[in-house]
Amino acid sequence: MKILVTGGAGYIGSHTCVELLNAGYEIIVVDNLSNSKQESLKRVRQITGKSLSFYKADILDSTALNEIFIENKIEAVIHFAGFKAVGESVNFPLAYYHNNVTGTMRLCEAMTKHGVKRMVFSSSATVYGNPVSVPISEDDPVGATNPYGRTKQIIENMLGDLQVSDPEWNVALLRYFNPIGAHESGLIGEDPNGIPNNLIPYISQVAIGKLNELKVFGKDYQTKDGTGVRDYIHVVDLAAGHVKALEKLLGSTGIQTYNLGTGKGHSVLDMVGAFEKAAGKKIPCCFVERRPGDIDISYANPAKAQRELGWRASKGIIEMCEDTWRWQSYNPEGYITHKLHYITSANTVVNYEESL
Ligand code: NAD
Ligand code: UD1
C-alpha cells in the first residue's frame, strides 16, 4: 500500500518513514528540502534495507502534486511539510501562513482531485497556548499564542470543515508534545539550522563543545525546581504513533484529534541531569531571564491515543538523551550539507544549499 509522506526528509518525517517501511508500507516522499537534506532518506534506506520514492517538489506546486498522484496509486497521506520555528513565524507571518496553510490547501485540492481522502496531520501542543490545567486533554480549549501555532489551528479547522463537507474524508490530527531523541542507530536525528532554539538540541551542542553553556530560561516558574516543565517524547515513539493513526484511518471515516505525549512532565534541570548521565559529561549552565511566551508547565493526557489507537510511548528521558547523544557524536555537523531556507523582509521564501 502506497503512502505519500510530505516533509518526509525532515526530522519527524524521516523517523516515520523508517517505521512505515518496517511495517510493510510503500512510501513516496515529497519534500522541497527547504529544511532538510536528501541524505536523511539515504540513511532511512540504510536503516531499513528498503527503498522509497522521492520527489523534490513543493506542496505549493499543484502541477507537481498532480503528477505525483497520477504516477502513484496513493491510499493515504501523512502530512509533515511545513515551517515550524516560533520566533521566525513572529517575524515572517505571511511566509508561515502561505507555506503551512496554503500548502495544505493545495495538498487537499490534489487529494480531492485524485479521490484520496485519508490524512494524518502534524499538529502541535502549541495550539493549547497557555493551558488551563495539566495534564492537557484533547477537548481542552485551544488558543495558540504565535503565528506558527495559529497556522496549525487554522489547518485543524480547515480539515474539520472539509470532513463535514465530504464525510468520506478521514483525518487524524496529531498534537505532538516535545519530540526529542533520534533513531537508535545514530544515523538519523534532528539537524537544526544554526544555533538551536529548543532545549535538547542546544544541550547536545553544549555537550559536543560547539556552544559554551546552556542558558536556563527562568528559575521562578511554578514548578518543583522553578524551571519549565514539558512532556518530552522520543521521536521513534512519535513515529510509531503515526503508523497506529494510519491503521485507524484505513478502517474508518471521520476526524479525530490525538495528543501524542508520554503524560509525564520533566523540568529543564531534569533534562540537564538526564543528558549528563547519558553523555557522561557535565553540561555547564547559567540562569537567565524567562524567554518571552514560555509557559510554566505542559504535559499531555495521552489516554485517548492509548484507548483508540492502541499506542503508548515507551521510552524514558535517559533513552531519549542517549539516542540524541549518539546521533550528535556520530554526526557533529549533522547531515554535512547545510543552509536551508531563509525568508526575506518581503516575506518571500528563498531556498538555497551550501556544501561544507
Ligand atoms: P522539519 O523541518 O525537520 O521537517 C519538515 C519538512 O517539510 C522539511 O524536510 C522541509 O524541507 C519540508 N517542507 C517544508 N515546507 C515544504 C513545502 N512547502 N513543500 C515541501 N516540503 C516542505 O520539521 P519536523 O520537526 O520534522 O516537523 C514536522 C512537522 O511536525 C511540522 O509540520 C511541524 O510543524 C510539526 N511539529 C513539529 C514539532 C517539533 O518539535 N519538531 C512539534 C509539533 C509539531
Ligand atoms: C517550543 C515552541 C513550541 C514548539 C516546540 C517544538 C516556543 C515558545 N514554543 O516549545 O511552539 O511546538 O518548541 O519543539 O518557542 N529552555 C531553556 N534554554 C534553552 C531552550 C529552552 O531553558 O536554551 C527551556 C524553555 O524555557 C522550556 C524548555 O526548555 O521551559 C523547553 O523549551 P523548548 O525545547 O524550546 O520547547 P517549548 O518551549 O516547549
pLDDT beyond 80 at 350 = no
**What single DSSP character describes residue 190?**
-
Residues 89-119 pLDDT 10s: 999 999 999 999 999 999 999 999 999 999 9
Cell 535538547 locates to 200
Cα–Cα distances (Å) from 18 to 23, 250, 336, in that order, read 9, 19, 21
Q: Is 145 in the pocket of ligand 2 (CB under 6 A)?
A: no
Predicted TM-score (pTM) of this structure: 0.95
Residues 264-273 pLDDT 10s: 999 999 999 9
Say which ligand is closest to the CA of 238: 1
With the most atoms of ligand 1 within 8 angstroms of its CB, the residue from 29, 35, 339 to mutate is 35
DSSP of 67-127: HHHHHS-EEEEEE--S---HHHHHH-HHHHIIIIIIHHHHHHHHHHHTT--EEEEEEEGGG
| Max intra-chain CA distance, the chain | 56
**What single DSSP character describes residue 231?**
-
Q: Is 245 in the pocket of ligand 2 (CB under 6 A)?
A: no
Is 148 marked active-site? yes
Active-site entry in 11, 55, 97, 148: 148
Cell 531556507 locates to 341
Residues 104-159 pLDDT 10s: 999 999 999 999 999 999 999 999 999 999 999 999 999 999 999 999 999 999 99
Burial class (CB in 10 A: 0-12, 13-18, 19+), 356: exposed
The answer to whether the CB of 37 falls within 8 A of the CB of 191 is yes
